[in-house]
Structure 1
């Protein structure tokens, strides 16, 4: 594992929340409309402790520069070997390859955890994420028209999958 990457700790939560909230306010990477509180993100974080789902951070200059996680794709037991990928990078650290390094590491952790497929849902306007996924071997497996609404418009979502 990259020496800048480690498992997320509860003490990272304020910085992780700041990164996530920046994306909520400024991008279509998340369909949350309102920023999350630390308390809300603590509930989110609790799903990763001691679970099969990795949550990792990239530390640069003693700051959390980004994070990645694998989470439940669907709640039903038949989906237990499929997970969903999320990657968020602080705006000050974007275009430095941090997202790619986080993806590489969390994909490997998914492989080690025994997942069969990783899914990503990406809005059609998120060209950087689409390119990053395609470079990592993810294949487009579906498109859903106007399923999300944010910033006063309906958004299409692309589903990408990677077989491990």
Structure 2
């Protein structure tokens, strides 16, 4: 397995992964599928902070981060996303992506990575806990999808001590 920076040409594979998750699961609260152009734009804008896991030239997952909240007081905090195709789950791709993403974040001066996780995805809570993230809050019923009200579990990891 290779972990490498995403390229605009990876947008199709990334769209297949993320749009299936949007269509078929409660892992994300969004119902709007991502376009190839929007994904390619994110890849270009985020640079080293957009990684893919590749096996035999096939993208099986990705991890990236973006702003946590607006304003200069949050400039050292980022919210991340890590998503895998079904065939990549439980194969170490998620851990490899997150380890590499944390390294990128540290090199870019990020102090805290935040995870916003759907309560319908307890596996992601366990995954993040195994990586050293801690639950810092739960926001009841802030998500709504498929007629269901869902909680948002907030987790964070402090990457470096000042």
TM-score, length-scaled by structure 1: 0.91
Supply the distance in 2 between the matched residues of 1:31 and 1:39 (Cα, whole angstroms): 21
Equivalent in the alignment of 2:78? 83
The 1:84–1:128 alpha-carbon spacing in structure 2 relative to 1, beyond 3 Å, is: same
SS in structure 2 of the partner of residue 47 of structure 1: helix
Preserved contact between residue 27 and residue 120 of structure 2 (Cα < 8 Å): no
Deviations 1:5-52 (A, max 9, x none): 000001111111111101101222222203222123233334314xxx
Equivalent in the alignment of 2:2? 4
Matched, 1:39 2:37: yes
Structure 2, unpaired ranges of 5+: none
Supply the distance in 1 between the matched residues of 2:21 and 2:80 (Cα, whole angstroms): 16
SS in structure 1 of the partner of residue 46 of structure 2: coil
Equivalent in the alignment of 1:113? 108
Equivalent in the alignment of 2:123? 128
1:125 Cα shift?
1.9
Q: How many residues align?
A: 159
Supply the distance in 2 between the matched residues of 1:112 and 1:45 (Cα, whole angstroms): 18
Equivalent in the alignment of 2:89? 94
Supply the distance in 1 between the matched residues of 2:81 and 2:34 (Cα, whole angstroms): 16
Q: Which residue, 151, 156, 161 being the options, matches 2:151? A: 156
1:89 Cα shift?
0.4
Supply the distance in 2 between the matched residues of 1:81 and 1:129 (Cα, whole angstroms): 23
SS in structure 2 of the partner of residue 13 of structure 1: helix
Structure 1, unpaired ranges of 5+: none
1:92 Cα shift?
2.0
Runs ≥4 in structure 1, deviation > 4 angstroms?
A: none
1:109 Cα shift?
1.2
